[in-house]
Amino acid sequence: MLGLLLPIMFGVPMSQASTPVSASMSAAAPAAIPVPTSRTFGVAIDAPADYQAQTLCTPAPKPGAKKLATLLVSTYGPYSVGIARDCSIGATSEHKEGRALDWMITSKIASQNAKAEAFLSWLLATDANGNEAAMARRLGVMYIGWKNQFWAGYEIGRGWTDLKGCTTDPAKKASSYDTFCHRNHVHISLTWDGAAALTSFWTGVALAPACRAGWGGGAPASEGGTDLIPVTPVRVLTSSSGLGLDAPCRLAASPSWSPGRGDLVVPVVGRGEVPADGVAAVAVRVSVVRGSAPLPTISVRSTDTSPYLPVTTALSTAAYSSTVVVPVARDGTIRLAIDRGAADVIADVVGWAPTPDPVPAPDPSAPAALVAASGTTHLVRATVVYDGTATPLAPGETRAINLAGVAGIPPSGLAGLAVSLTVDPTTTVDSIGVYGSTTRTSVGMLRTSTSAVRVTQLLVPTSTGVLTLRNMGASAAPVRLVLNAWFSDAATGGGRHLTLRTSPARVVDSTRAVGLAGPVLNGLSRLVTLTGSAYVPAGVRGVLLAVSAYGGSTDGILSIGSSGMIPVLSLTRGQWTYETVFVPLSSSGRVAVRTASLGTQVRMSVVGFVA
């Protein structure tokens, strides 16, 4: 929304802010009108803005908006600058997201008009490299409203155009329309990157353009896969460097007029130990960093018609990651998307699932027990296989942990482990890196908390049973490992077969009273029956679940299980978090769900089942 409704000085109502300079104080224009000072820039420049309409209610002034306001005041004097606006007032407005500014300078006072024109001329000037509106691009300016006209950073070639009839409607020339037509202030809306002060004016480093999937439909999804095969992690995407892409780009939210347009298509087959053919699904660790909007969520899907599966939400501009199993399109790709703003993303394939072969006839000479139970997926009762709480991981320490021979993990014939890593509260917010038998390749990372236990799910490729933890922080970290499953490198007795669905099936959604009737109301376990539906046949031994939870009254963890409780995911109050986990099932086909965070909402989708 362009009209000024309630100007705010960094969240303080205008009536409480400093008084704007009066006409008599500014009647004499300075001999030379200054323009903002800036660093010396190279050839690289930020891409032109995309239109990113207001969708959130987060009116607190964002860093880039505050910095731009300070720049205006320091350059042109103490004119009020309004940023925040109450979300109940008016229609769509970036003020409600703290990324729009109303610079209270009027076109009706010559000296003030001259200052505004000087600033806008500087902002929209073509630089020495031929880049139009160079400083607007470097600041992340999305659009401007000033003196009856409108300028759009996402349509730079159009220049200044009419603002809501203010240049054509005689009635709007009346002074009562001065605010509506932006004659008494300059309105500037920023992109989310500009609002986060991630653009080159502040950092000196130009941001890459938004990733785009291109027009046209994607390839159809592959058929459902079978047992996961853990592999040495292979990096298939680093958006900031262009790895896996034609050029560097930032994952950006799709425009409202073209859902899916922001999808990033990533080839995932034929890399590292992942074959080029016969791949039905991949286990991929997705990391997000430098997210510009508050709490952006990264999702994956296999094709442009498949449902999105959330992977991870960034709680700050730091790195956050999680692992998900997703079907692969028949052209060997998956798609990543972000729901707001933009971010840099990294993707590592940590496992793959082959397309199913025709089921062979049973070998009559094989022992009956082996015929009945032979596969590569070995579910186990949730078991603590390493407890390092008595000897916390010291700052900077790298610790190799050998789990061979523990809880049935074999010393040979092993392909990998599915484990839950938990970390008790630390004195500073740190990161714990997880690796296979060496520290050459990372399989995951967990950010700690100063107030709550944190947990993440990991698929660890290891033929020896060894995995490695590294404390990349400044405080000691009490860690535990819970084993949920292990994978053999060939079908063995006691193993089972995993069957992956072509798309996840939602079986629990407490927000809609599906499977669970409403949020968690106490600390007691709640039972959910998973078998016997069209998605989970009766008699299966376990499920691979994609779990989402909206944190309730406190930070904490959500646990799920039928044969021992598995710490599944970290709960953050008032935010969604996501993990994918193997859960063994009892003969009843039911699982218990438990957390002490009252008000938590839970969703579960079946990715596959083990039989």
CATH number, domain containing residue 347: 2.60.120
pLDDT over 50 (residue 72): yes
Q: Classify residue 3: in a domain, yes or no.
A: no
Q: Are residues 281 and 375 in the same domain?
A: no
At CA 81, angle to CA 79 and CA 84, rounded to 5?
A: 160
pLDDT over 60 (residue 297): yes
At CA 109, angle to CA 103 and CA 110, rounded to 5?
A: 105
The secondary element (H helix, E strand) that includes residue 113 is helix 110-124
pLDDT over 90 (residue 317): no
User: 390 pLDDT band (50/70/90 cuts)?
Assistant: very high
User: 222 pLDDT band (50/70/90 cuts)?
Assistant: low
Q: What is the pTM of this model?
A: 0.86
Over range 92-114, report the average pLDDT.
97
What pLDDT is stored for residue 31 in this prediction? 54
Q: What are phi and psi of 30, to 5 degrees?
A: -65, 155
Over range 118-142, report the average pLDDT.
97
User: 494 pLDDT band (50/70/90 cuts)?
Assistant: confident
- The string of pLDDT tens digits covering residues 498-513 is 999 988 999 999 999 9
Q: Are residues 21 and 170 in the same domain?
A: yes
| Alpha-carbon dihedral angle through residues 44, 49, 54, 57, given to the nearest 10 degrees | 10
What pLDDT is stored for residue 19 in this prediction? 27
- The string of pLDDT tens digits covering residues 355-386 is 987 544 444 444 333 334 568 999 999 999 99
Q: Classify residue 254: in a domain, yes or no.
A: yes
Q: Are residues 23 and 55 in the same domain?
A: yes
Question: Of 336, 359, 382, at which residue does a domain stop?
Answer: 359
Q: Are residues 112 and 173 in the same domain?
A: yes
The secondary element (H helix, E strand) that includes residue 415 is strand 414-423
State how far the Cα of 386 lies from the Cα of 584, in Å rounded to an integer. Answer: 20
Q: Classify residue 485: in a domain, yes or no.
A: yes
What pLDDT is stored for residue 17 in this prediction? 30
Q: Are residues 469 and 556 in the same domain?
A: no
Domain containing 386 equals 368-493
CB atoms within 10 A of CB 428: 12
Q: Are residues 353 and 260 in the same domain?
A: yes
User: Into how many domains does the chain fold?
Assistant: 4
- Cβ contacts of 551 within 8 Å, gap of 6 or more: 571, 572, 573, 574, 575, 576, 577, 597, 600
Q: Classify residue 554: in a domain, yes or no.
A: yes
Lowest-pLDDT choice from 103-112, 213-222, 339-348, 586-595: 213-222
Q: Classify residue 118: in a domain, yes or no.
A: yes
Q: Classify residue 1: in a domain, yes or no.
A: no
Over range 399-421, report the average pLDDT.
95
pLDDT over 50 (residue 542): yes
- The string of pLDDT tens digits covering residues 544-565 is 999 999 999 999 999 999 878 9
pLDDT over 70 (residue 239): yes
Where does 204-305 show beta strands of DSSP type E? 229-238, 251-252, 264-267, 279-289, 297-301
Q: What are phi and psi of 518, to 5 degrees?
A: 90, 180
Q: Are residues 100 and 71 in the same domain?
A: yes
Helices (H) and strands (E) in the chain, counts: 6, 33
Q: Classify residue 2: in a domain, yes or no.
A: no
- The string of pLDDT tens digits covering residues 42-63 is 999 999 999 999 999 999 999 9
Q: Coil, strand, or helix at residue 122?
A: helix
Count how many residues are written for the chain: 611
- Average of per-residue pLDDT values in the chain: 89
For residue 146, what are the CA distances in angstroms to 171, 180, 186, 422, 537? Answer: 18, 10, 5, 54, 63
Question: Of 359, 378, 400, at which residue does a domain stop?
Answer: 359
User: 143 pLDDT band (50/70/90 cuts)?
Assistant: very high
State how far the Cα of 495 lies from the Cα of 386, in Å rounded to an integer. Answer: 23
DSSP label at residue 24: G
Q: Does residue 91 or residue 146 have the better pLDDT? A: 146
Over range 242-259, report the average pLDDT.
87
Q: Coil, strand, or helix at residue 16?
A: helix
Q: Which two tokens stand for residue 297?
A: 């969520």
What pLDDT is stored for residue 212 in this prediction? 80
State how far the Cα of 529 lies from the Cα of 548, in Å rounded to an integer. Answer: 17
What pLDDT is stored for residue 30 in this prediction? 47
Q: Are residues 254 and 120 in the same domain?
A: no
pLDDT over 70 (residue 486): yes
Over range 318-323, report the average pLDDT.
88
DSSP label at residue 514: B
Over range 579-595, report the average pLDDT.
94
Which residues make beta-bridge pairs with 461?
A: 416
**Amino acid letter, 455:** V
- Cβ contacts of 116 within 8 Å, gap of 6 or more: 103, 105, 107, 146, 147, 186
Q: Classify residue 605: in a domain, yes or no.
A: yes
State how far the Cα of 300 lies from the Cα of 509, in Å rounded to an integer. Answer: 19
- Nearest alpha-carbon partner for 576 in 510, 516, 529: 510
User: 217 pLDDT band (50/70/90 cuts)?
Assistant: low
pLDDT over 60 (residue 589): yes
- Nearest alpha-carbon partner for 231 in 385, 487, 460: 460
Q: Coil, strand, or helix at residue 73?
A: helix
Q: Are residues 35 and 163 in the same domain?
A: yes
Q: Are residues 350 and 381 in the same domain?
A: no
- The string of pLDDT tens digits covering residues 428-448 is 999 999 998 777 778 999 999
CB atoms within 10 A of CB 374: 17
For residue 377, what are the CA distances in angstroms to 54, 420, 467? Answer: 46, 17, 19
Question: Of 306, 338, 359, at which residue does a domain stop?
Answer: 359
Q: Are residues 580 and 451 in the same domain?
A: no
Helix axes 110-124 and 63-76, enclosed angle (nearest 10): 130
Q: Are residues 384 and 401 in the same domain?
A: yes
pLDDT over 80 (residue 290): yes
- Cβ contacts of 223 within 8 Å, gap of 6 or more: 280, 355, 356, 502
